[in-house]
Structure 1
Amino acid sequence: MKHKDTIDKLFEVVGGKDNIKNYEHCATRLRIILKDDSKLNKEETEEIPESKGYFYNTGQHQFIFGTGKVNAVYQDLKDVLGDSDEGQNDGDFKGDVYKNLNPAQRIVRTLADILVPLIPALVTTGLLMGVRGLLVELGMEFNDTWFAIFEMLTDTAFAFLPVLIAYSATRKFGGNPIIGIVVGLMMVAPQLPNAWAVAEGNAEPLSLLGLDIVGYQGSIIPAIVAGYLISKLEKGLRKVVPQLMDLVVTPFLTITITIATMLLVLGPVLQMAESGVINFIVSILEAPLGIGYIVFAALQQPLTITGLHHSLGIIEISLLNDGGTNIIQTLTTASMAGQFGAAVAAALLMKNQVKRVNALSSTASTLFGITEPLLFGVSLRHFKIFLSGMIGGAVGGLLTYILGLTATGMGITFIPGLLLYTNSFTALLQYLLVIAVSFAVSFLLVRVQSKSIKNEIN
């Protein structure tokens, strides 16, 4: 076993392998739920070999190993626990996590579980938009056929977004995902007036029972609610519909009731509420003199610590739907670059060679948009480091406002995010400038305070 020392020390820290109730990993962290939290030896969490940090959140003890490394450590842990009946992964990890969440956290986690699986498709769409912009920037002209092909590549995912969301939501809530797809398709069916065309005055809504009916192009919350209704109706109907008739009656009633409810009752209300909330948030971002940009870029990484950053996906999708650009991606990268600069500066102040190398390696994943190792391994060790990172991000936010810079997609940040600015060479340079300025400001702030910071981190 390659990581035996790590696993042995981990067992010692958590109170023995028999105290592990459940475990899982994400991109950077090994996440463990214990049977008895009091058995954890918190003082020795930093002594685990290869671990870059530890924190506790929503009932989970999270040990940061970094991209790639966490997969190998998890596999070794699984191999060891698989040899013991007492230590085997006990039940559903997500179910155990949800038990430890308050209502607000459950909502955010649910949104993340629904939206995160869609990100690869939306990232691809944004990249294709960037490719089209780059080709235009290079002087390439498109005839009607090629323009139609590119339009198909860049517009389809957003035109049928309710289909993707209804599918993902239905799957999340335990319903039949195929029924979710059918209901999602009905919500954007060509027989319904296109919501965007109606908003532009190029089409008239249908009138049904005194209500204006339009398609749900670009809607997010209604599609999530539709997925929830499908799953609840399915489960409820299966309790009363005879098994012999279940194959026909259950899906028939589920689809009919759901689409009727969405078109005539919940849908119009949810569309208005969603539009109002998103417009309010966007108006805050667009506050005069770049104040909204500055505040967001300063606070995005603190938001990441709480896990609430997952809820921003709804805003990003809506921004791309409405205008084809996404300012949140740019500001998020500025916030990351600020913390990156502060952490690198702090790492260079460490006298112990091993600690310095570990700290620097913790910052490396930031280049690919993953900041948890940096945050918990370096920045949060001293408030001045973290605050310097926030200030660097805020300056990057101000520069973003001055330049008027926005991304063409979502889901990728920092170096991979360069692909979202290929629509013009100027945008590419401006994006790199925002990163460089955010990094430099926070780096210099830490260096200016180096005397007090150095004494504490050493």
Structure 2
Amino acid sequence: MSKKIDIYAPCDGEVLNLENLSDEIFSKKIMGEGFAIKSNTSEIKSIFDKSFIEKISPKKNSFKLKADNLTFLIHIGLETFEIGSKAFNISFKDGEYVSKNDTIITIDKELTKDIETIQYIPIVMNLDDSEGYTIQNIKYGKVKQGDKIAEISLNIQTEIDKFNQLLERKSKYEKIVEEIYEYVGTKANYSKFYNCVTRFRLVIKDKSLINEEAIKKIPIVKGIKWNGDELQIIIGGEVYKVREAFEKLVESKVETAISKTSAKKITTKKSVSFKDKLLAAVTGVIIPALPVIMAAGILKAIQAILTQTGVLQEVNLGNGPGQQPNISSYDIYTGVTYIIAEAGLSFMGIYFCYNTVKYMGGNQVMGIFVGLALVAPFFYSSGSWASFKLFSIGQIDIAIKGYQSSIIPQICAGVIYCYIDRFAKKWIPASVDIVLRPAFSFLCTMLISFIILGPIMGIIESGVFAGVTALNKVPYGIGVGIFTLLWQPLVLTGMHYPIIMPIMLDQAANDTTSTILVGTTIGVLGQAGATLALVLRTKSAQTKSIGLGSLPAAFFGVTEPAIYGTNLPKFWPFVWGCVGAGIAGFVSGLLNVVSYSGATPSMGLIFVVGFVRGGWKNIALGCMVLALAAVISFLLVLFTYRDRPDEAKSTKSIARLIARIYYKKTNKKILNTDFKKDLDALNALWTKEQKQFIKDTDKLFSCIEKIDVKIEYYKAKEEKEKDALLLKIKKAVNKENLDKLNKLKADYDKISYQEKISVLDKERIELIKQRDPIIEKLDVFQEKFMDQTHKLLKNLASDSKYAKFIDIDAHYYNAVHSLDIAYGISEKMPIKITRKEVKTI
């Protein structure tokens, strides 16, 4: 496929081959391909129907025209550089558009009459942008101005190929998932993958093939957790993009055969506990439906606000007093709003049946079919849901009914369908499989679901809900306080949603209220408040950057980036976040703050919509306890947090530990021994000058880290902007839109932060020069300190007959290396003697 551009004669004259010219720069095509014209006139016009003047030379003896991203040089005469600009009269300026009838240059014949080569006008393509273009059908010989004298042919595919090469550049997420794919052992080592709100989950076949350390080092990864054979890679709000990129990677991969040894390992069947299987299944089935639950909850809250403010009528369907038999009895605005708000919650079971069938690898369309049948509107009549009573157990009627908002019966129906369908596939002949198998599987599933499983699962669903909500009955808000305190630790285990889901599902099904569900968002805001305080307190630019980046997500319900990025690695901010939340949870339970259906833990501040239907008092109290969680956690961290342990204080603390152990082993106080002098000598090493040296070094390290963070910021920003343009380029490539492609390519080439990065690099190099001798000085001091501790601990072990005194070496190492450990220069040594062990001595 090609594109044609016409070239017109710029003047009357004769078209010549470039090889006929006396100037070798043109005759040997050093300047590019083209032709020449021997002019009979003094006026030189444009060679294109439409173009613009890119550049007129200072001597005015040549100019460049650009048309369709191709540049041509038109040179007036040969060897005319010395003539001077007075010999040429220019009618246009750089950047102005011209047509083939516009005179660009007029030659002064009087000033140029002695120059024999003034008549020869070379016309050549610019070498820099002529790839893919060819000049065709050149009309040599006599021509008139405006005659078509040649064509430029552009091979569009050649141009498209250039952009395809550009598209081979991998995006941020493509690079990330390639690493994940490799480190989990490729497709051969996992059976399925999916995501929840913050975690990318893979069911692994052989754990020994997982490179956990490599996965943890991927910049976007906040941590990993195992739930049986399910690997949970904690990512945060970007998990959806990671999962989408992973899907594309898997689809494009051509799997190579794995070695027999690996195959043998992978196919080895491992025992997985029922609990682990159940938690993985619950996560895979329920988490994908959370967007529906959240969207439905927000819509329900909007309806409640409009109803409370009198904008809409209150809907009450039924046949009793003050009730209407159907929605059409209300005004159109109320009716339409009610239908939109109720659709998600009233027919929620369908999503869970579909997710179940999808999770088990069944026919997803049939999953929708089964789900629809279980919520059939035929059960709805005269303003209420009908049922066929089978029998009663005590006060509970067991009946055939629709399961509009019951989740467990829908999930079980999806499981039954998949097993029946697999069974039918084994014996139904292939020739009639497509006709008989779907009908047989559906019929059996519906009969079992309606008559047997549905009633049983309905009872179980009620039992599960009763068990989970038992904690809510602990009086004086204590139950809610305990639950709230433990909510974020539960997030760490990955079991948070399976535990809270029965309450959420009961709310969706029966439109009930909950006090304990409020605690989930209180727990979220506790961590958000702790993170905010940490950002304000820390001197570490890296911690500030990570904390600031995770704050928006934390305040809107996704705390994993904050927990794994800052709070948990620093430990105490996480603890204080839980404590602050626990206190606010206690107050919430005491005040009986409730939430309504649709409000979920993943909503963060938006959870406020769950308070709306409880009236203004509930809204005010709900907002108060959420704010209380953030404020208490914020203050606890603000007044207690330190970036790293103080070296001198840590040394004194270790001395107290030694004294305690020594007394337990020898029944002698260390103050009355010569070891007291050795301990005092260690403490004496932390002179005023040494403390100031550490403080100055800390400032220097902090400056270097700030520059590193800025450099990473600009690199990430450049990559993000380029990735966004690549998506647009990809669409333009598919449409073969060259004009748009060239514009996008120009925009792409402009994206560069290398100048800023270079400036920062120079600053960094200068600071590194200052740092290196300081590190040497620090190393000398640390070696001296550790030499004294080795001698002290060795003598203590010998005197007390307690060999483990030597293990306190790790305590001293971490104390003296507090600064370089904080900046990642050194690694913290694991503590071998814990407080628990000291108690048992």
**Corresponding residue of 1:57:** 226
| Conserved? CA contact 2:598–2:610, under 8 Å | yes
For 1:99-154, what per-residue CA distance to the aligned partner results, in whole angstroms no more than 9, with x for missing partners?
A: 89643232122122222232233222212221122113323252823444333233
Pairing of 1:319-330 with structure 2 (within 5 A): 319-327=507-515, 329-330=517-518
* Counterpart residue type for residue 625 of structure 2: V
How far is 1:214 from its partner?
3.2
Distance 1:74 1:87 in 2: 25
Are 1:211 and 1:264, in contact at CA under 8 Å, matched by a contact in 2?
no
Residues 141-180 of structure 1: per-residue CA shift (max 9 Å, x gap) = 5282344433323333333233332222222222223333
Equivalent pair of 2:184/2:211 in contact (CA under 8 Å): no
Does the residue aligned with 1:288 lie in a helix, a strand or coil?
coil
Change in CA separation of 1:298 and 1:208 when aligned onto 2, cut-off 3 Å: closer
Choose from 482, 506, 510 the match for 1:295: 482
Q: Given residue 116 of structure 1, which amino acid in structure 2 is its aligned partner? A: I
**Aligned-residue offset at 1:278:** 0.8
Summarize the Cα distance change of 1:211–1:437 in structure 2 as closer, same or farther, 3 Å threshold: closer
Within 5 A, what are the aligned runs for 1:249-288?
Answer: 249-288=436-475
Deviations 1:184-228 (A, max 9, x none): 33333355588x968xxxx67434899743333432111111101
Identify which range, 128-137 or 147-156, moves more after superposition: 147-156
Opposite residue 357 of structure 1, the aligned amino acid is: S
Q: What residue number does 2:330 align with?
A: 144
Question: Higher RCO, 1 or 2 (CA under 8 Å, sep at least 6)?
Answer: 1
How far residue 433 of structure 1 moved from its aligned partner, in angstroms, is 2.0
Q: Identify the match of residue 554 of structure 2 among 363, 366, 391.
A: 366
SS at match of 1:57: strand
Correspondence 1:374-385 to 2 at 5 A: 374-385=562-573
Q: Secondary structure of 2:585's partner?
A: helix
Task: Answer yes or no: is the 8 Å Cα contact 2:346–2:404 preserved in 1.
Answer: yes
Q: Which runs of 5+ in 2 are unaligned?
A: 1-168, 259-265, 314-328, 647-817, 823-841
Equivalent residue, structure 2, for 1:91: none
Aligned AA (2:628): V
- The one of 339, 351, 357 equivalent to 2:545 is 357
CA distance in 1 between partners of 2:247 and 2:457 (Å):
45
Instruction: Answer with 296-305 or 424-433: which moved more.
Output: 424-433
Match of 1:308 in 2: 495
Tell whether 2:535 aligns with 1:344: no
CA contact (8 A) 2:514 2:594 kept: no
Distance apart, 1:363 and its partner CA = 3.4
Name the structure 2 match of 1:396.
584
CA deviation profile, 1:310-346 (whole Å, cap 9, x unmatched): 2133420212322344545522110011122223333
Q: Please state how far the C-alpha of 1:371 moved relative to its aligned partner.
A: 1.0
Q: Given that residues 222 and 560 in structure 2 are in contact (C-alpha distance below 8 angstroms), is that contact kept between their aligned partners in structure 1?
A: no
Is the CA contact 2:200–2:232 (under 8 Å) kept in the aligned structure 1?
yes
Q: 1:219 to 1:408 in 2, by over 3 A?
A: closer
Distance 1:161 1:66 in 2: 26
Q: What's 1:114 paired with?
A: 285
Give the letter aligned to residue 366 of structure 1: A
In structure 1, C-alpha distance between the alignment counterparts of 2:246 and 2:434, rounded to whole Å: 44
Tell me the SS of whatever aligns to 2:529.
Answer: helix
Once the two structures are superposed, the pairs formed by residues 75-114 of structure 1 within 5 Å of their partners are 102-114=273-285
1:144 maps to amino acid: Y
Residue from 296, 316, 323 that aligns with 1:125:
296
Instruction: Tell me if 1:166 matches 2:353.
Output: yes
Is the CA contact (8 Å cut-off) linking 1:408 and 1:420 kept in structure 2? yes
Q: In structure 1, how many angstroms separate the alpha carbons of the residues matched to 2:538 and 2:619?
A: 34
How many angstroms apart in 2 are the aligned matches of 1:160 and 1:219? 9
> Structure 1 vs Structure 2: percent identity of aligned residues?
24
The 3 A distance-change label for structure 1 pair 286 and 87 is: farther
Q: Read off the aligned partner of 1:417 and give its amino acid letter.
A: F
> Shift of the alpha carbon at 1:71?
4.2
Match of 1:67? 237
The CA RMSD over aligned residues, in Å, is: 4.3
8 Å contact from structure 1 (residues 7, 77) kept in 2: no
Q: How many pairs were matched up?
A: 439
Q: Which amino acid aligns with 2:595?
A: T
Give, in angstroms, the shift of residue 348 of structure 1: 3.4
- Identify the residue that residue 446 of structure 1 maps to in structure 2: 637
1:67 counterpart letter in structure 2: G
- Structure 1 spans left out of the alignment, 5+ residues: 89-94
Asked if the contact 2:185/2:209 (under 8 Å) is kept, the reply is no
Q: For 1:244 and 1:72, how far apart are their aligned partners in 2?
A: 41
User: Does the CA-based 8 Å contact 1:52-1:358 persist in structure 2?
Assistant: no
Question: Counterparts of 2:405 and 2:183 in 1: how far apart (Å)?
Answer: 49
Pair 192,365 (structure 1): closer, same or farther in 2 beyond 3 Å: closer
Which protein has the larger Cα radius of gyration, Structure 1 or Structure 2?
Answer: 2
Cα-to-partner distance string for 1:408-439 (whole Å, 9 max, x where unaligned): 41344213334444555554443332222101
1:132-281 paired onto structure 2 within 5 Å: 132-142=303-313, 144-145=330-331, 146-190=333-377, 192=379, 205-207=388-390, 212-281=399-468
**Counterpart amino acid of residue 337 in structure 1:** L
Q: C-alpha separation between the residues in 1 aligned to 2:360 and 2:624?
A: 43
Residues 204, 344 of structure 1: CA spacing in aligned structure 2 closer, same or farther, 3 A cutoff?
closer
CA distance in 1, matches of 2:496, 2:450: 31
Which residue is 2:696 aligned to? none
Contact 1:337 1:393 (8 Å CA) reproduced: yes
Over 3 Å counting, the alpha-carbon distance change for 1:31 and 1:258 in structure 2 is closer
Rounded to whole Å, the distance in 2 between the matches of 1:160 and 1:230 is 19
Question: Matched residues in 1 for 2:171 and 2:365: separation?
Answer: 42
How far, CA to CA, are the matches of 1:263 and 1:439 in structure 2?
Answer: 47
* Distance in 1, Cα, partners of 2:534 & 2:632: 13
- How far does the alpha carbon of each residue in 1:47-83 deviate from its partner, in whole angstroms, 9 at most, with x for none? x58457433434677666653499489969988xx89
> Aligned in 2, Cα 1:237/1:34: closer, same or farther, shift over 3 Å?
closer
**Partner letter of residue 341 of structure 1?**
G
With 99-108 and 217-226 compared, the bigger mean Cα shift is at: 99-108
